[in-house]
Amino acid sequence: MPTLQLAGGRTFHVADTLLDQPADHVRRYHVALAPETTLGEAVEERFQRYLPQPATTDTLGQLTQQARMAVFCASPQARALTILVEQVEQQPAGDLSDQGLRDRLSYLLACGLTEAQVQEQHARVEAELQALIAPYLVTHPEAEAQEIEVARAQQRRTLALCDAMLGVEVPVLITRSQVTQALLDLLEPSTLLPNGLSSINPHVRQRSFDSLCLLLLQEQLAGRLTLLPTPWQQEPSPYLLPLGLFLEHVRAVSTRLPN
């Protein structure tokens, strides 16, 4: 796994491939990059500034507060990277709660994590994601036809977001085309829309991921698929399958579905 050096000889390790990470980590990685998440972090930052502040004579308190607030000024790529950190100082990274990730990023920033290191890892992960989605992308040689394809995908995602906001149950995937669309919603890097929001809303990613997991659970109940526990789970769950195995199962199931 890639080892990044920090100040004072400290090190941390990042996952060298997404395929070995729990599938849900990929969703969370995308969510951390979304402008919608950045807006939520901005609200949290304002809330933190209204809390009682350390006295000016409290040097340790001041330093702690500065480290805490630095998290909210970090780039979305830095926030996303913390999800893929496997070890810090040769110790398992551990807590993956929102606060746990903030604390981890605060520590890395305090130890000298640079934006150059962040962007290098981000570029590596983006390249792997592009390779993963390549088999599922529909491309057209004509620019107009390609624009229509992109517009149709955005229309579908907008309707999915409306369903999510209205509390409509996640759809059951019954065709290979629907499975492909759900995989793209989960894996495809977002682009920025004219309104400053992401082309794939975090709620749409969650909804598509839920549909894919539901598909695997249905196959398990029907006796056509066996899910085994992984080192980080006691009970087998499609949500925590390594991404490589998750995609392998989804592909196998989709071959039994109509177009």
Q: What is the pLDDT of residue 45?
A: 52
What H or E segment, with its residue span, contains residue 254?
A: helix 243-254
Dmax of the chain from CA atoms? 70
Highest mean pLDDT among 6-20, 100-114, 169-183 belongs to 169-183
For 71-97, write each residue's pLDDT tens digit: 667 888 988 999 998 888 777 777 788
* Alpha helices (H) in 51-196, listed in sequence order: 59-73, 76-83, 98-110, 115-133, 143-166, 176-187
> What's the rounded Cα separation, in Å, for the pair 194 and 96?
32
* Lowest mean pLDDT across 26-35, 50-59, 163-172, 176-185: 50-59
- Tokens representing residue 176 in the block: 């290979």
pLDDT at residue 236 greater than cutoff 60:
yes
So where are the chain's domains?
A: 3-132, 143-254
Q: What is the pLDDT of residue 65?
A: 57
* Lowest mean pLDDT across 41-55, 64-78, 111-125, 149-163: 41-55
Q: What is the pLDDT of residue 44?
A: 57
> What's the rounded Cα separation, in Å, for the pair 249 and 10?
39
For 176-226, write each residue's pLDDT tens digit: 999 999 999 999 998 888 887 888 999 999 999 999 999 999 998 888 888
Q: What is the pLDDT of residue 2?
A: 78
- Predicted TM-score (pTM) of the model is 0.85
